[in-house]
Chains A and B, each alone.
Chain A
Amino acid sequence: MIIDINFIGLIIASIMASAVPLILASCGELITERSGVLNLGVEGMMIIGAISGFALMTVTGSLIIAVFGAMLAGVLISTIFAFLTQTLITNHVATGLALTIFGIGISAMIGKNFVGIPGKEFPVLFEGLKDTIPLLGSILFGHSIVFYFAFALPFITSYFLKKTKIGLIVRAVGDSPESASNQGINVKFVRYACILYGGAMSGLAGAYLSMIYTPQWIENMTGGRGWIALALVVFSTWNPIKILIGAMIFGGLTIIQFHMQAIGVRIPVQFLTALPYIVTIIVLVVISRDSRKIRLSTPSSLGKSFHKDN
């Protein structure tokens, strides 16, 4: 078997492409969790983003409206979560689950009229540069703008958290809402903002799936990616750069699975499809085993409600 160097480049590029929605959603959720809020509704926000993006693209014909509309849809649906958990002080876990169930239902309801409609071609950047460098050319060039944004996001997120004042405020709110509040920071406002930002990123992740990755609407098309994104945040021990590594591993598992099927490896399809989920569990076990490390890196107030008595 002759291995073409550009073929390897293509495989790496496709692994990166499948990592994109995971990176987007994880980085969004990371900010939410850093502010002390555990939003288990990622899967629901993602699927809402997927249908909103696809529907807006079909109806308006504008890709820009569709992408931003999907992010806005993510923001809107996460507002429900923010209002419940922050204003009405509900349990984060239960509210997040409700958000996921609700999101899947609503998306299928809206999506009924969009099944079977072909998607649109999404413009790619630097297509002409592909052949200029062997191997690297096909990895680096010819992708959508969302792709490049996703790979820049972990670095932006890391810079934001470590070097900016607002990033410091977010971390302070997550680690010690009481002292942050005593310093005059409006804890609820910060948490609202972080939840809505997470919603926007999940919405974008969904739009990437339905508009760029597999340009069509399929019911339940997120297929658990939202949950894997949540697992990635734990995997990263709340460090955005490590999300990149984790997302590449899971992207790799998804792609390798396709190629193994293609070259006729005699393993049942279902076992290959189950691989990302099983690996997620194994990785979680390995990461969490060191309970001290987890305790040190987890935002101290994660999942706990904060209410200032007047």
Chain B
Amino acid sequence: MIKIVKRDQPSRAIFFFTPVLAIFLTLVAGGLIFFILGFKPFEALKFFFIVPIADKYGFSELLLKATPLCLIAIGLSFCFKSNNWNIGAEGQLTFGAIVSGGVALLFYEQEGFYILPIVILAGAIGGMLYASIPAILKTYFNTNEILVSLMLVYVSKLILDYLVVGPWSNPEGFNFPETRQFSDSAKLPLLFEGLRIHAGIFLALAAVVISWFVFYKTYLGFQMKVSGFSLKTARYAGYKGKKMIILVFLISGACAGLAGVGEITGPIGQLHREISPDYGFTAIIVAFLGRLHPVGIIFASLVVAITYLGAETAQIFMQIPKYTGQVFQGMILFFLLASDYLLFFKIKFIGSKK
């Protein structure tokens, strides 16, 4: 017989074990889906998860994709920890990219060491500005931040589309929807010859370190944790709720904006229509999979980044539709949420004879 018993306390060991379990279950379910689609499950999984990162180039691509995911997820963890549902990071990324791209275009064909820092800062400010909209509406007008931040994603993509087709389009670009190439001083330097991985990865690592410090070593981190646990308790303790809501939104907006900077000033070096394959949405999954813990998020961003690469590889070698990546991402989150059940409940197997 199986009996389900409530735990007295959520299990801490299980807390860090369930993400691994979720990944495992996703692989099993993924294999099953491949089987239903008529592929050999193990071969498909190999093309999906191993082949893409088997060489130096693949590994660099993995880091390239993990960088924005990690950066955004770190920002989101500030929001999620304090019970603020910012799901519009994709919009904040896009708007950050627009602002930093605009600044980079101002320095067209100019060189100078001061250009890159200004461009990066512009991206962070752009992301913060855009994230401040749902934050201010939430704090002062009681408006649902989930819906506002999401609606703004659509708006930001349309603004970007307008700019690259219209006023910012490259005058010598034969009407392609893209801007001029940024000058070299406005681009993040590549780290290795022949690989696309760029200095943006240091932004992500810096975010990891800073967030760890804030979460675990500052009063602010403590306040966030308390408000996430119980808003009532936070109110009794006299924490300034409104200020904190705005602050966490600004932090996550800045991170998303920086991810946007990385996308346009890294390998691409210009603004164009599709700067992000939904990194902003996928990063929500990364944040949860990483348990809103800075180190966990590093691992989670690497795991989820593989789904992007795997989808591309599987499409080329096995004609598996590339959307399988998204299916995997959705499944990871499903399984993760489901296995959280084990945090609060124990499953006991009771033998019939004693």
Contact surface of A with B, Cβ cutoff 8 Å: 40, 80, 84, 88-91, 93-95, 97-99, 101-106, 108-109, 112, 224, 227, 230-231, 234, 268, 270-271, 273-274, 277-278, 280-281, 284-285, 288-289, 291, 294, 309
**B6, CB-defined interface residue at 8 Å:** yes
**B152, CB-defined interface residue at 8 Å:** yes
Instruction: Of the listed stretches B67-75, B195-203, B264-272, B319-327, name the one at the interface; the rest are far from the partner chain.
Output: B319-327
- Cβ contacts under 8 Å, B141 to chain A: 285, 288-289
**Would you call A84 and B147 a contact (CB within 8 A)?**
no
Interface residues of B in 260-290 (CB under 8 A from A): 281-282, 284-285, 288
**Would you call B162 and A105 a contact (CB within 8 A)?**
no
13 contacting pairs across A/B (C-beta < 8 A): A84-B337, A90-B337, A90-B340, A101-B330, A102-B327, A103-B330, A108-B323, A230-B147, A268-B162, A277-B151, A277-B155, A285-B137, A285-B143
Per the bound structure, the CA–CA distance linking A284 and B146 in Å amounts to 11
**B104, CB-defined interface residue at 8 Å:** no
CB nearest to B287 among chain A residues? A94
CB nearest to A294 among chain B residues? B142
**Would you call B166 and A268 a contact (CB within 8 A)?**
yes
Per the bound structure, the CA–CA distance linking A118 and B155 in Å amounts to 30
A227 and B147 in contact (CB under 8 A), knowing A84-B338, A91-B337, A98-B333?
yes
- Cβ contacts under 8 Å, A288 to chain B: 141-144
Min Cβ gap A243→B in Å is 15
**Would you call A284 and B148 a contact (CB within 8 A)?**
yes
**Would you call A105 and B154 a contact (CB within 8 A)?**
no
**Would you call B284 and A97 a contact (CB within 8 A)?**
yes
Min Cβ gap B347→A in Å is 12
**B334, CB-defined interface residue at 8 Å:** yes
Per the bound structure, the CA–CA distance linking A99 and B285 in Å amounts to 12
Per the bound structure, the CA–CA distance linking A309 and B326 in Å amounts to 36
**B87, CB-defined interface residue at 8 Å:** yes
Contact string against A for B residues 131-148, beta-carbon threshold 8 Å, 1 for contact and 0 otherwise: 000000100011110111
Dominant secondary structure at the B interface: helix
Contact among A98, A108, A109, A224 with B334 in the assembled complex (CB-CB below 8 Å): A98
**Would you call B162 and A277 a contact (CB within 8 A)?**
no
CB nearest to A286 among chain B residues? B141
Per the bound structure, the CA–CA distance linking A65 and B241 in Å amounts to 52
**Would you call B85 and A93 a contact (CB within 8 A)?**
yes
Per the bound structure, the CA–CA distance linking A192 and B340 in Å amounts to 20
**B329, CB-defined interface residue at 8 Å:** yes
Contact surface of B with A, Cβ cutoff 8 Å: 6, 85, 87, 137, 141-144, 146-148, 150-152, 154-155, 158-159, 161-162, 165-166, 281-282, 284-285, 288, 321, 323-331, 333-334, 337-338, 340-341, 344
- Cβ contacts under 8 Å, A280 to chain B: 147, 151
- Cβ contacts under 8 Å, A40 to chain B: 146
Per the bound structure, the CA–CA distance linking A288 and B141 in Å amounts to 6
Min Cβ gap A9→B in Å is 31
**Would you call B147 and A105 a contact (CB within 8 A)?**
no
**Would you call B337 and A94 a contact (CB within 8 A)?**
yes
**Would you call A109 and B137 a contact (CB within 8 A)?**
no
**Would you call B333 and A97 a contact (CB within 8 A)?**
yes
Contact among A98, A105, A270 with B323 in the assembled complex (CB-CB below 8 Å): A105
- Most chain-B CB neighbours within 10 Å: which of A230, A281, A309? A281
**Would you call B326 and A101 a contact (CB within 8 A)?**
yes
Contact among B6, B150, B155, B344 with A227 in the assembled complex (CB-CB below 8 Å): B150
CB nearest to B340 among chain A residues? A90
Per the bound structure, the CA–CA distance linking A307 and B22 in Å amounts to 23
CB nearest to B163 among chain A residues? A270
Min Cβ gap A277→B in Å is 4
- Cβ contacts under 8 Å, B288 to chain A: 94
**Would you call A106 and B327 a contact (CB within 8 A)?**
yes
Per the bound structure, the CA–CA distance linking A40 and B144 in Å amounts to 13
Leading 9 A-B pairs by shortest Cβ distance: A102-B330, A105-B326, A108-B323, A98-B333, A105-B327, A270-B162, A90-B337, A270-B158, A101-B330
CB nearest to A292 among chain B residues? B142
**Would you call A274 and B137 a contact (CB within 8 A)?**
no
Contact among B85, B321, B329 with A112 in the assembled complex (CB-CB below 8 Å): B321
Min Cβ gap A107→B in Å is 8
A309 and B6 in contact (CB under 8 A), knowing A101-B330, A105-B329, A105-B330?
yes
Contact among A101, A270, A294 with B281 in the assembled complex (CB-CB below 8 Å): A101
**Would you call B326 and A88 a contact (CB within 8 A)?**
no
- Cβ contacts under 8 Å, A224 to chain B: 150-151, 154
**Would you call A227 and B333 a contact (CB within 8 A)?**
no
Per the bound structure, the CA–CA distance linking A89 and B147 in Å amounts to 23
CB nearest to A290 among chain B residues? B142
- Cβ contacts under 8 Å, B282 to chain A: 101
- Most chain-B CB neighbours within 10 Å: which of A91, A109, A273, A278? A109
CB nearest to B166 among chain A residues? A268
Min Cβ gap A31→B in Å is 19
Other contacts beyond A88-B340, A277-B154: 10, CB < 8 A: A89-B341, A94-B284, A101-B285, A102-B326, A102-B327, A270-B161, A271-B162, A281-B143, A288-B142, A309-B6
